Chains A and B, each alone.
Chain A
Amino acid sequence: MIAGWTANGDTIMVEQMPIFGGYTGGVEETAICDVATTLASFSLLSGNFHLDGPIHIRWGITTARETLKIAGHVAAAIDANTDLLIANQYYPVAGPCTEMCLLETAAQAITDTASGRELLSGSAAAKGVAQDYTTGMEARIMGEAAIATAGMKVSKVNDILEALISSYEKDYAKAPKGKNFRECYDVQKVTPTQEYLEVYDRAVKRLEDFGLPM
């Protein structure tokens, strides 16, 4: 595939999702491996940009404290030493039309933006495994949280993240699946329901309370 894409002049994205708690072990070891495979995607696989996605072996999500810490450190390390274009992808545990899903997504957007990533790709709500449990509203919070974060002092960002992650990380086992696309949107008009807009507003208020100027 890569041989054909290269000959065709296509833009090539190389994707890789290191598993925290798998063969690589803890956060530091997984981060070292993540840096190594990020570099390999450019030097061995002719990638033009890299899509990361450190994922938690127990919960299958990218929004856990440990996986955000890996993503934040790896991006900062690559960013401080190269001009490579790096991205991250989103797998929150909670589903659409829930505050938890929006807060998880915002936490990763804040992390990715403040650690120097160039592209945020998402979001596969409800761990990306439930059919039709993804909507544009999750991308809205990802974008708005990124805009609110860009330019903020990193020490302030870390304080916000500490409060934000602490607010949801005890709830993985009982995370709400949320609602599917047909329940979240008027399918014909492609507009979100009043209920989802109200959930969104409540999540924004929570983020503002944590110190993020939305």
Chain B
Amino acid sequence: MAASRPVNIFETYERSLKGPKVVEKDFDYNILPTNLMKIKQKYNIKFGKEIIPEDKELMNNLFLAGMEMLVTTGMYNADTQKIIRLTEEEVMEGIKKTPKNLVLGEGRDAARFDPRHGNEARKPIIQGGPTGAPVSEDIFIQVMQSYAQEAVVDTLVNGVMNTIEGHPAKTNTPWEIRATMAELRAVREARIRAGRPFMGI
């Protein structure tokens, strides 16, 4: 049946309240591995020694297997202990609705985020940064600048400022907010020092 409309975050939330109730252990130890095994067999998913597949049929079957896994198993919300269900038509509507081109950053520092297909000659976007690794607050700007100044880097990804004014940036404390704000200021300063003030962050 055709989807009534793409699923938005409010609909996802409602489904995570009203979906079938399942105990987390049952989902993790039973439903998930059992369904994966069945679908793997159905689509005959077997990888060879290649890191990147060269067999088009394997790529397509893996896509179909993933789609079937999503629509038959759903996504588990551990907070509500409910399964969020959606149909294949709703997955396809979500794919159609997703922008196919994005711009990260602004002006001369902008990076165009366009689809690549196969190993085409156009390089991917290089997003440089510690990717969530912990960084000391006294060298945070310099660490981020070391990425921003690299010629091959197009956009930045933060590290995590480990302390703020010497206090641990602990979750659910005011220091967490102060550290986050300081982190944002430091990343902006790093890209300015690197001469790329409008680089995507």
Contacts and interface: CB of A to CB of B under 8 A. Distances in A.
A49 B9 contact: no
Contacts of B62: 31-32, 35, 73-74, 76-77
Q: Is the interface of A mostly helix, strand, loop or mixed?
A: helix
B39 interface: yes
10 contacts: A34-B66, A35-B62, A36-B66, A76-B53, A112-B124, A122-B129, A125-B133, A129-B133, A134-B130, A136-B153
Given A36-B66, A136-B150, A158-B52, 16 more contacts: A35-B63, A37-B75, A49-B102, A72-B51, A72-B52, A73-B58, A79-B118, A82-B95, A85-B99, A118-B125, A122-B131, A133-B133, A135-B146, A139-B150, A139-B152, A158-B51
A165 B51 CA distance: 10
Interface string A114-134: 111111111111101111111
A46 B9 contact: yes
B171 interface: no
A81 to B, nearest CB: 4
Contacts of A79: 59, 116-118
A69 interface: yes
Given A42-B98, A119-B127, A181 B146 contact: yes
Given A136-B153, A139-B126, A190-B146, A85 B60 contact: no
Interface string B36-54: 1101100001110111111
Contacts of B116: 79, 116-118
A6 interface: yes
A40 interface: yes
A116 B118 contact: yes
A94 to B, nearest CB: 14
Interface in A34-78: 34-40, 42-49, 65, 68-69, 72-74, 76-78
B126 A146 contact: yes
A1 to B, nearest CB: 9
A32 B52 contact: no
- Per CB-CB distance, the 7 closest pairs between chain A and chain B, nearest first, are A35-B66, A43-B94, A143-B152, A136-B146, A139-B128, A151-B121, A134-B130
A87 interface: yes
A5 to B, nearest CB: 9
Interface string B166-199: 0000000000000000000000000001000000
Interface in B49-84: 49-54, 56, 58-60, 62-63, 65-67, 69-70, 73, 75, 84
A49 B103 CA distance: 12
A68 B91 CA distance: 26
Given A48-B98, A124-B131, A36 B123 contact: no
A162 B10 CA distance: 46
Nearest to B147: A136
A173 interface: no
Nearest to B31: A23
A27 B98 CA distance: 28
Contacts of B136: 131-132
Interface in A74-128: 74, 76-85, 87, 89-91, 111-126, 128
